[in-house]
């Protein structure tokens, strides 16, 4: 029973591949390239004699193998290119969502300037607390593939304080309406960012990418090359290129995981700005009271 459980956990770890995102980028790249190099070299050396016999005469079918390899690599290259573009677009979209969230928080913080105290201070504190929670709590969770939920309580708190304010002037009514619009946009962008925690290529597409690369590499085994060293070098170059391409897709596949991931830098910048401005206001207010 214990052995079965251990085997099950090992299979789970290797089938999910999430452990590779804990590796340094250079090690992830080396690992990916090495897998293709090992497959290419062992496959080429194991089938070299068989492939030579299949040619009947020296190099008699190399042109046919070349045509077939060209056809396979064209189809695979188009598929791989589309997958690479798709993963980059997904990565960029998530990055843009974080930028948009930071912009909305900045706009809300500025719009609150028009409200009277103590509502302005309460609402600004809620925004600061929300941003701090996203950076220190939500982000580490998303990097582990866990959707964060704690930051929602700060938005509910913000909404409660905003609904508690009853504008007496038309100007305040217009301001509150605009703040509610920005607040709703913030909720939508946050939800999109949280949903992006699960953004990744489906297993079927990953199977196509990996198996397709191995098939392309396998076709090169059928070349009848007189120089063994030349055959080895050509196989290594081709295997290395395939490994690099798959490494690129792998690093961009999960936007919040790995060393190449979406950064909370925009949120960190506005958090520092909001805290600085809050401290400046507090210092100014204290100096006025002391006079």
CB 198 within 8 A of CB 255: no
Please state the rounded mean pLDDT for residues 265-290. Answer: 76
The pLDDT tens digits for 56-80 are 666 667 778 888 888 888 999 899 8
Q: pLDDT at residue 285 above 70? A: no
Domain boundaries, the chain: 97-200+262-285
Q: Which of 140, 149, 132, 137 is nearest to 190 (CA)?
A: 149
- List the structure tokens of 83: 């997958």
Share the mean pLDDT of the chain: 84
Q: Which of 285, 265, 255, 249 is nearest to 90 (CA)?
A: 255
Q: pLDDT at residue 54 above 80? A: no
Please state the rounded mean pLDDT for residues 232-256. Answer: 90
Q: pLDDT at residue 289 above 60? A: no
pLDDT value, residue 47: 85
Q: pLDDT at residue 3 above 80? A: no
Q: Is this prediction's pTM over 0.85?
A: no
Mean pLDDT comparison of 13-22, 133-142, 193-202, 215-224, highest-scoring range: 133-142
The pLDDT tens digits for 90-101 are 999 999 999 999
Report how far residue 49's alpha carbon sits from residue 267's, in angstroms, rounded to the nearest whole number: 60
Of residues 257 and 188, more confidently modeled: 188
Please state the rounded mean pLDDT for residues 244-254. Answer: 89
Sign of the C-alpha dihedral, residues 104, 106, 110, 116?
positive
The pLDDT tens digits for 119-176 are 888 889 999 999 999 999 999 999 888 888 888 899 999 989 888 888 778 887 888 8
Q: Which of 236, 231, 249 is nearest to 80 (CA)?
A: 249
């Amino acid at each position: 029973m214990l052995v079965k459980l251990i085997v099950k956990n090992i299979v789970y770890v290797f089938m999910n591949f999430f452990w590779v995102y804990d590796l340094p980028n250079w090690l992830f790249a080396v690992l990916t390239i090495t897998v293709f190099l090992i497959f290419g070299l062992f496959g080429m050396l194991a089938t070299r004699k068989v492939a030579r016999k299949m040619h009947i005469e020296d190099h008699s079918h190399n042109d046919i193998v070349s045509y077939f390899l060209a056809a396979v690599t064209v189809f695979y290259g188009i598929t791989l290119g589309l997958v690479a573009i798709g993963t980059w677009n997904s990565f960029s979209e998530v990055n843009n969502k974080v930028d948009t969230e930071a912009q909305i928080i900045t706009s809300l913080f500025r719009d609150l300037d028009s409200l009277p105290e103590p509502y302005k201070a309460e609402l600004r504190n809620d925004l600061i607390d929300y941003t701090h929670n996203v950076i220190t709590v939500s982000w580490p969770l998303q990097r582990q593939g866990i959707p964060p939920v704690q930051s929602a309580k700060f938005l509910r708190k913000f909404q409660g304080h905003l609904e508690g304010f009853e504008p007496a002037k038309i100007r305040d009514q217009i301001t509150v309406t605009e703040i509610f619009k920005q607040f709703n946009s913030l909720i939508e962008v946050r939800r999109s960012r949280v949903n992006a925690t699960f953004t990744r290529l489906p297993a079927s597409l990953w199977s196509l990418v990996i198996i397709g690369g191995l098939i392309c590499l396998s076709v090169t085994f059928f070349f009848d090359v007189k120089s063994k060293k030349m055959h080895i070098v050509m196989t290594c170059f081709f295997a290395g290129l395939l490994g690099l391409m798959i490494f690129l897709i792998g690093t961009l596949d999960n936007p919040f995981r790995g060393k190449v991931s979406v950064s909370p830098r925009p949120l960190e910048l506005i958090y520092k700005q909001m805290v600085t401005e809050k401290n400046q206001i507090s210092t100014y207010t204290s100096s006025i009271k002391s006079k």
